[in-house]
Structure 1
Amino acid sequence: MPDFPNIIVLAIPFFIIAMLIELFVTTREKFKETKGYEPKDAFASIAMGLGNVFLGFLSKAIVLGALLLVYENFRIFTIPIAWWSFVLLFFADDLSYYWFHRISHECRLFWASHVVHHSSQHYNLSTALRQTWSGGFYSFIFWLWLPLLGFHPAMIMLQMSISLLYQFWIHTEAIGKMPRWFEAIMNTPSHHRVHHGRNPLYLDRNHAGILIIWDKLFGTFQPELKEEKVIYGLVKNISTYNPVKIAFIEWYNMFKDAFSGKKSLKDRLLYITKPPGWKHDGTGKISEDLRKEWYKRMKES
């Protein structure tokens, strides 16, 4: 087993320094329209991040075990650990992340853990630390095809950490637009601000990890528009800074919707597999419904 470092833990001092710099920068006059840091919100995000790191010692053991199981028993090829294989893995991992991230917005079972990351109504580097306490135990299924192809599990987990590390810096309003060529290929603060928007136009868009090309290829790309300022948070925001509630409130709501009241078995299952907002009686609205209503209002106005 290759001994790759835990780069997320090593990066914690960098996270702290970067947040302090951002806090200083965003107090300047030119950033007066940004929400900046709100102490309770920032501390809630940091608490979520610390919880994710601690639980990660357990979840990563499960993930590594699953990847090793596939690699040792079912791999089709054996891909050596070399510079060129890391290049291939970079694209394969990023494609895996795109589909994991997209499904996390389109299936309530995965949204139950991912919603944590969208629960803040602020957008700064502390928001990047607002990570799930439960998703790490099952979201790895989107990466199981990689050891099947022959990528070593240690390589895969290292690349997953690199992707997560890259995504830290894009959670900021302190950076406007990057150079045009960079915006065309890479995920940027502008692209990711859209992803965190609760505006109907921005819902479920820009699922990229490192490369924005997947969103453009699969039809989920939306540029940030000057005339449509991003409003951060959820369609229905949660009013709590309690880390435990933030971590598990959507699990509670999902199971409550699925198992309470008189519903068919099919409808109970659909509350787990359908997108957030879906209701069995037709009264719910998913993101596509909200977007269509928005477009209709824009046409009429």
Structure 2
Amino acid sequence: EAVADGARAAPPPPEPAAVEEAASAEPLTPEPEPVVEIAPAAPAPPEPEPVVEIAPAEPAPPEPVVDVASVEPPAAEPEPAFEPVRSAETAEPPVEAAAPAPAEAPPPAEPGPAAAQPSSPEVELAALAPTEAVDPLALQFPQVSVLDAGSFRGIRQAKAVVVRLADVRPLPFSERCGPDGVGPNSWHCGGIARAELSRFIGRRPVVCHDERDVSTNGRVREVIARCTVGGADLSLWVAANGWGVPADGAPPSIADAAREAAERAVGRHAPSAPEAAWSGAN
């Protein structure tokens, strides 16, 4: 019971001296927190730009050297289209010479009379080749314009020259041929003769010699001469293909060629146009 009483007893009062010291004690000043200085962040160093290496330009390859001797000539141009012209019409402007079509070798001749042989519109170039050399001072025309079956126009020293083939009288451009003359069955042989001569000459140069002046008016010189193309005599070619007759004083070769053309019925002696391409002239 005594212990229980002691537990229920109040605690003893504090001593006066201790209470006074606690009352007189000054409050404690809080210590200041340390100031931490934050240094500014250093700027990041700039990234180096990538270095691009430029490769030196390769030298251009050298241009190929073209061998002039190996260059092929230009392709032959097509023949000029022929337009029909009636006998009442006047002569047309000259036709520019077209590239000749390649001629095939004729079949070997068979024995028999000349009249039985098939007619040929052209004569072998080898048979027309002259035996004498060309005079270096002769008239030379790089290109000509055919006027009719026996004349053409060229340029000589910047002046126009009209050349008429010697020793042959060609068909006029307006001439018509056939069994009934100028009837419905006739054909424009003069126009075809001009076209055939133009096709034979083509773009090849023409060389003339033994020229004789006929007339001149200060602008156009007109001469009569014997001319060749690739070694073929043009006067002989006209007579041998039936597009002309021998002129007065012509050599026997012209007369013989014209007679053979009549026997073969070629050129103006044919009963109709010699080629289907000229059917529009009928």
- TM-score tier, shorter chain, comes to under 0.3
Q: Report the TM-score, using the length of structure 1 for normalisation.
A: 0.20
TM-score w.r.t. the length of structure 2 is: 0.21
Q: Which is richer in strand?
A: 2
**Larger Rg computed on CA atoms:** 2
